[in-house]
Amino acid sequence: MTSDLPLAGITVVELGDSASAPFAGKILAELGAEVWKVERPTGDSARGWGPSTWQGSGAAFHALNRGKRCLRIDIKDPDQLATLHELIAARADVFIHNLRPGSAARYGLDADSLRATKPELVHAEVGAFGHTGPMNTLPGYDPLMQAFSGIMSITGEEGQAPVRAGVSIVDFGTGMWAVIGILAALFRRQLQHRGATVNSSLLETAIAWMTVGIANYTADGAIGGRHGSGVAFIVPHRAYEAADGHLVISCANDALFARLCEALDHPEWATDPRFATNAARLTHRDAIDHLIGDRIAAAPRAHWQNILQSAGIPVAPTQNTAEIVTHEQTRALQILGTPTPDEIPLVGLPLSFDGKRPPPLPAARAIGADNHLLEQVLKNGEE
């Protein structure tokens, strides 16, 4: 039940569009908060995203906006903007937005304006290039940040065009960082009775994902490169092609590598000076990858999965979306859920409390579906 969840009793007003701020709002809703989603008259951009749709809106919108009350408010209209300010003043513990740079202050929705009259408000801004610096007024999106931060420089195959990660890691990561900041601010508010201004941004998130790569550069000037499905600092740690598809083999230390060599019937590789240590394998990456690849190619994925898993070696097949959705491990985790039988199953919160995952959120609402409720709440001060 919602009342059993950690954020029960917390009210969030989310003026979010697209992915990052709505993802933060979704997480907060799954943690038990009451979330009021504010959309412009034409609706959240994600309502029009494809290729898949459900009940007239992009499937992405449903994935990011379940469990929220939906309001249609035109902040360019003074009366409607005043209503939004009234909602924040009367009900909000948290206000989160990802308005274009400069827009929040124009409408009195910036942290200084809102916290001047409500000091205990947690104001969370999800930005693009960050809240300061020479580029802080520029707009930005996930692919731009994967490019600008250097992520694309180490993603894909060497000698090929830059490649972005297939999922919006920067958008979703920024939403997660915003939630972490909001939770920390709420905890401090409970102790010190004061709110906070929380800033997160796409660029800062992307730079954070470059933590190890930047450490390598500051240590010895190595700018990194592309290693396909592998990584710069561990070998073997990549996908190899079996007779019927690819599987990833991961040996993060020399003991695991020796065990892999035994499982592949080539124990001599573990004592070969070229491969005996991870440092040596990094130097001779192509040689050991070629040897392992030739061995893996001789049999199907299932054959190697059985052998390697029995030997305690981390291994996994490269699966498509249909395969992961239907896999028995996914079903056992019950991370896909639906509030009613006529809704599509969507991914829930990847957390459990006392062994129980929060229940699936109610379906995403139509634009302005709860405007009538807002009028009632503001008039009566209660639901």
pLDDT in the model for residue 120: 97
Give the chain's domains with CATH numbers: 2-209+333-380 (3.40.50.10540), 237-317 (3.30.1540.10)
pLDDT in the model for residue 69: 97
User: What percentage of the chain has pLDDT greater than the value 90?
Assistant: 92
Residue-wise burial string across 200-235, b where 16 or more C-beta atoms lie within 10 A, e elsewhere = bbbbbbbbebbeebeebeeeeeeebebbeebebebb
- Given a cut of 50, whether residue 206 has pLDDT beyond it is yes
Distance CA 214, CA 223 (A): 8
- Span 220-226, mean pLDDT? 91
What are the tens digits of pLDDT across the range 70-122? 999 999 999 999 999 999 999 999 999 999 888 999 999 999 999 999 999 99
pLDDT in the model for residue 377: 86
- Helix, strand, coil share of the chain (percent; to 5): 45, 15, 40
What are the tens digits of pLDDT across the range 91-102? 999 999 999 888
Catalytic status, residue 171: yes
Segment (H or E) for 248 = strand 245-250
pLDDT in the model for residue 156: 94
Confidence band for 381, pLDDT divided at 50, 70 and 90: low
User: What percentage of the chain has pLDDT greater than the value 70?
Assistant: 98
pLDDT in the model for residue 383: 46
Upstream peptide bond of 134 is cis (omega within 30 degrees of 0): no
378: tokens are: 């503001």
Distance CA 206, CA 171 (A): 9
What are the tens digits of pLDDT across the range 308-324? 999 999 999 999 999 99
What are the tens digits of pLDDT across the range 24-68? 999 999 999 999 999 999 999 999 999 999 999 999 999 999 999
- Span 242-271, mean pLDDT? 97
Rounded alpha-carbon distances, angstroms, from residue 304 to 228, 236, 293? 21, 15, 12
pLDDT in the model for residue 2: 59
Q: Provide the whole-model pTM.
A: 0.92
Confidence band for 380, pLDDT divided at 50, 70 and 90: confident
pLDDT in the model for residue 285: 96
pLDDT in the model for residue 270: 97
53: tokens are: 């749709």
- Given a cut of 60, whether residue 1 has pLDDT beyond it is no
Exactly one of 44, 142, 171, 370 is catalytic; name it: 171
* Residue 349 and residue 360 in contact, taking contact as beta carbons nearer than 8 Å: no
What are the tens digits of pLDDT across the range 142-200? 999 999 999 999 999 999 999 999 999 999 999 999 999 999 999 999 999 999 999 99
Rounded alpha-carbon distances, angstroms, from residue 212 to 218, 244, 365? 10, 34, 41
Checking DSSP bridges between strand 346-347 and strand 336-337, what pairing results, if any?
antiparallel
